[in-house]
Structure 1
Amino acid sequence: MNRRIVIVTAVHAPSARHLPEAYASLRAQELPPGWEWRWVIREDGATDEVAPHIPAHDTRVIFRQGRRGGPGGPGVTRTLALAHTEGEYVKVLDADDRLAPGALARDLAALEADPTLGWATSSTLDLLPDGSTIAFPGDPAEGPIERGTVLAHWKAHDFRAPVHPASLFVRRDLLTALGGWMALPASEDTGLLLALDAVSRGWFSAEAGLYYRKWDGQVTGQASHVDPVERAARMAVVEERARALKSFHWNYPRPLGPA
């Protein structure tokens, strides 16, 4: 039986039109022999506007919906998506983004080669409406990211992480042990990244692994995302969680020895 990478996508109606491009970038990925992917797309809410954009006739694609009557947020949606298929690794792919060629294979190779690594990220390019790209500033060098590095940088640079959480590739057991994504209206992926950084070493690939689309409808472009009062509250909760995990001295992987 093949081993599996689970691709998790939270989608809401405005971003659904970008799903065909995300799917094309996923289909173009090449994995080593013995590996396969499953793409779980979960709608944040339940409307009739997302289903028409779901790829048809591909059994590797699983579509589910959330509650009718209101969204739960991307963190809740991604976490619930984990229930719909099994796999050793989880890769984030937002509905409006695209994977760069070779992204999955590079992430997989890094973590398969070193069991002390719990997660991987990669260089990310902003994808502008005219099709041009801009590099994400301040990328670290390719290689391991030691525990605590992300939190220290984030705290010193106005809550800006040194790597992009939208490019995350993570061991599933570690992801579920941390409870998945934080139940926040935004910054839920940064919260997860800092939690991972508190307990595990990571990896950064300098080759671009993600095209991060910039467009008028993206959630991070809305006024509510930068409201100073809510932003301060989100950052406070994110930091408190990371520091609490660090204080517990829980490390991944667990040292070998008696259970």
Structure 2
Amino acid sequence: MNRRIVIVTAVHTPSAPFLPEAYLSLCEQELPDGWEWHWVIQEDGRTDAVAPYIPQDNRVTFRQGRPGGPGVTRTIALAHAEGEYVKVLDADDLLPPGALARDLAALEADPTIGWATSRVLDLFPDGSTTGFPGDPAHGPIPHGAILDHWKANDFRAPVHPATLCVRRELLLSLGGWMALPASEDTGLLLALNSVSRGWFSRETGLLYRKWDGQMTGQPPHVDPVEREARMAVIEERARALAAFRWRATAKAPSADEVIHSR
């Protein structure tokens, strides 16, 4: 039996037409021997608009549920996701070749690394791309480094939470994504960094699509009153976790687990 990395995608009606492109980017991934991917697509609601775009592939699971926003949608998707690692992929984004293999290499090499991120390129409608200035150095990210940078730079993290790949047990121990109307992935990122070291790859790991309908481009996302509240609760949670001084380290698989995974 192969080991598995689970790809979790929250989708709503406007972003559904991008799913076939996301699927093609998954099919281009080459995983190490003994590994496979499973894509769980969870609709944020119950409509008839998303199903026509779901690929017919045994490696793809589609589920629906009552609306709750992207954080709730991704978290409920974990009920259908069996695998050691969980990778985020927004419905309108793309994975460049090699992205999953690099995540797995970082996490498999060091049990003290709880999560991995990578360089991002914005992808524009004309096909052009642009990167972000100030990427961190390639390699481990120390405890607390994300919060320090985020606080000092107008709540902007040095790595992009849409590139997260995380150990499943660690993700569940933190309760999944934060129950916020937005910035739920940033909240998870800061919580993860409060309890475990991370990893940053200088290789591009995500093409982040820029388009008129994306949720982060809508006026409510930048409402100053709501944004201040989101940032406050994100910071308070991260500092509370850090104060517990809990450090997450992956356990080594038992002999039985190794045998049954073959």
TM category, shorter: over 0.9
- CA 1:255–1:21 in 2, change beyond 3 Å: closer, same or farther? closer
Deviation at 1:255, TM superposition (A): 9.6
**Aligned-partner Cα distance in 2 for 1:255–1:197:** 18
Contact 2:111–2:250 (CA<8 Å) still a contact in 1? no
Correspondence for 1:147 among 143, 146, 166 = 143
Aligned pair 1:204/2:217, yes or no? no
Is 1:25 paired with 2:21?
Answer: no
Query: Does 2:118 align with 1:122?
Result: yes
**What is the RMSD computed on CA atoms of the aligned residues?**
1.1
Work out which of the residue numbers 154, 160, 171 in structure 1 matches 2:156: 160
Does residue 181 of structure 2 align to residue 182 of structure 1? no
Partner residue of 2:12?
Answer: 12
2-structure distance, mates of 1:29, 1:200: 27
1:236 aligns to 2:241 (yes or no): no
| Aligned-partner residue type, residue 236 of structure 1 | A
Per-residue CA deviation, residues 144-172 of structure 1 (Å, 9 max, x unaligned), is 00000000000000000000000000000
Q: Distance in 2 between matches of 1:41 and 1:175?
A: 18
- Structure 2 stretches lacking a partner, 5+ long: 253-262
1:188-210 deviation line (CA, Å, top 9, x unaligned): 00000000000000000000000
Matches of 1:215 and 1:75, distance apart in 2: 21
| Deviation of the 1:254 alpha carbon | 7.5
State the partner residue of 2:260.
Answer: none
Task: Give the distance between the partners of 1:46 and 1:125, measured in 2 at CA.
Answer: 32
Q: Could you give the per-residue CA deviations for residues 5-32 of structure 1, whole angstroms, max 9, x where no partner exists? A: 0000000000000000100000000001
1:75-86, aligned counterparts within 5 Å? 75-86=71-82
CA distance in 2, matches of 1:136, 1:37: 28
Alignment of 1:65-144 (within 5 A): 65-67=64-66, 71-144=67-140
Aligned-partner Cα distance in 2 for 1:151–1:197: 8
Report if aligned partners of 2:111, 2:251 keep a CA contact under 8 Å in 1. no
- Tell me the residue number matched to 2:2: 2
Aligned counterpart for 2:223 among listed residues 221, 224, 227: 227
CA distance in 1, matches of 2:251, 2:171: 18
Task: For residue 141 of structure 1, report the CA deviation from its aligned partner.
Answer: 1.0
Aligned to 1:50: 50
How many percent identity over aligned positions? 78
CA distance in 2, matches of 1:215, 1:138: 24
Distance of 1:40 and 1:230 partners within structure 2: 30
1:101 partner letter: P
SS at match of 2:175: coil
- Tell me how far 1:85 sits from its aligned partner: 2.5
SS of residue paired to 2:122: strand
The verdict on how the C-alpha distance between 1:110 and 1:17 changes in structure 2, with shifts beyond 3 A counting, is: same
Query: How many angstroms apart in 2 are the aligned matches of 1:251 and 1:209?
Result: 26
Query: After the TM superposition, which of the residue ranges 246-255 and 234-243 deviates more from structure 2?
Result: 246-255
Q: One-letter code of the match for 2:238? A: A
State the number of aligned residues: 252
Per the normalisation by structure 1, the TM-score is 0.96
- Structure 1 distance, partners of 2:218, 2:97, is 30
Stretches (4+) displaced over 2 A: none
Q: Distance in 1 between matches of 2:113 and 2:44?
A: 31
Look up the SS of the partner of 2:90 in the other structure: coil
Identify if the C-alpha distance between structure 1 residues 254 and 2 changes in structure 2 by more than 3 Å, giving closer, same or farther.
Answer: closer
Q: Secondary structure at the match of 2:86?
A: strand
Amino acid at match of 1:35: W
Letter in 1 for 2:90: D
- CA distance in 2 between counterparts of 1:154 and 1:75 reads 20
Distance 1:137 1:196 in 2: 23
